[in-house]
Structure 1
């Protein structure tokens, strides 16, 4: 005498196991693509943000290359860097303070089509006529 129901019980177990696998595959297929798309988009946004910081550092280097330059020359030097918009230039006895905005737009192809990310940041740099250069300061951007 066999315990366990014989051939029909064996088929039922395979049928239940197959059904569970099909359901899991369907749920995985429904959930995985949006999660992967979001992760890919976040990665692109982080790259755009790093590019904003790198562009601000290049602008700082261009500004500090000639600390004795006049306000217009400093404005032109900052404006010559791609993606930089000079917002204000103010002179005081210690030096010149420039506030500028950096905008970066990144696009990338992915399995899900083209993805786009934009990032921007505003920065202030004081260019002193004499002495050590001031640090690059990140500011909230005006609307």
Structure 2
């Protein structure tokens, strides 16, 4: 009788482990498109990600690089160490301009970052935390705490 209880207990524990592993795998699979990593222009220049990877790149819009071609805007994002050419088709945020912080979501295709979403600062003191941290590492930005 004890052997049967022990066997049943082992089976229940094994089933629980298998179900836990399966549920973890399903959650990870479901979230794969919802996770996008942030990279600075220097990180993109050092190790360009594959064209299939969606990620965020951020920094300052480089002075003299902003070109508007109809609904498409082309500009360079820099962190002081490197620059990445960004192409975005759509309506730009009201506060988007040269010399200001920006975060773009998209893919790197043939050396040009094709953005599907563009985020700019929302007032004169705000800069996204990832952008500020990347600029601080390069010694370009010395602003206060961001939030």
Structure number with larger C-alpha Rg? 1
Name the structure where helix makes up a greater proportion of residues. 1
Same fold at TM > 0.5: no
